[in-house]
Structure formats: structure tokens, C-alpha cells
Amino acid sequence: NAGVTQTPKFRVLKTGQSMTLLCAQDMNHEYMYWYRQDPGMGLRLIHYSVGEGTTAKGEVPDGYNVSRLKKQNFLLGLESAAPSQTSVYFCASSYSGQGEAEQYFGPGTRLTVT
């Protein structure tokens, strides 16, 4: 099992450009999440999904959109990138959103917006 994978691993964008980050999991998990991690800070939730076809906003959703068309995939889009979106992005998944269900994380995507 590959677990949670993220594509790409690194990306540099110019201000105003758009891009999509792809997250895939092969554990048949219902719940998927997108986080960002900035220097000296913990992870902050951007958007999440509790099942195929559903999405919801997290703590810091502005400037991002997401889609969950297939259970195994969760896409994060930046329509018009800004330097403030320079960060490391992590995708995660879990079988449940409650109790002891741990979240399994992907390796991260380092995004730089110039």
C-alpha cells in the first residue's frame, strides 16, 4: 500500500498563476483533509471532506478550492496564487472523523509563490 501520496512534491508559481495539488489514498478512507504548515507553526486545516462528493471549510479556506469527485482523490486548487500562500501543504486521510481514528499524512508539497 502506498498510503497517502501527493503530487507534486515541489512547485514554484508566479503571483496570479493557478495550480492544482493532487492527493490520493489507497486505504478506502472516507475522510480526507488539506492542511498548510507555515514556519514555526503547527498545521492549519484548509478544507476537508467527509465522503465522496462532499467538501467543507476548515480554519483557513480563503483563496483555495477543493473537489472530491472520487473517494480516493482530494484535489486542492489555487485559482490566483499569492505570496501569502507560500507554504508546505499536507494531505491526510482517516477512516473516521471521531474517536481514536488517526489521520495518515502524505509527504507534503512545498509551494513557493514569487
Partner 1 sequence: AQKITQTQPGMFVQEKEAVTLDCTYDTSDPSYGLFWYKQPSSGEMIFLIYQGSYDQQNATEGRYSLNFQKARKSANLVISASQLGDSAMYFCAMRGDSSYKLIFGSGTRLLVRP
Given the rule CB under 8 A, which residues bind partner 1?
A: 31, 33, 40-45, 48, 50, 58-59, 88, 90, 92, 97-100, 102-105, 107-108
Residue 22 or 50 having the CB closest to partner 1: 50
Residue 1 or 14 having the CB closest to partner 1: 1
Rg (CA), the chain: 13
Which residue, chain included where needed, has cell 479556506? 61
Q: List C-alpha distances in Å: 108 to 9, 73, 89, 100.
A: 7, 15, 5, 23
The alpha carbon of 55 is separated from its chain's Cα centroid by a whole number of angstroms, namely: 12
Residue 71 or 105 having the CB closest to partner 1: 105
Residue 29 CB, shortest distance to partner 1, in Å, is 12
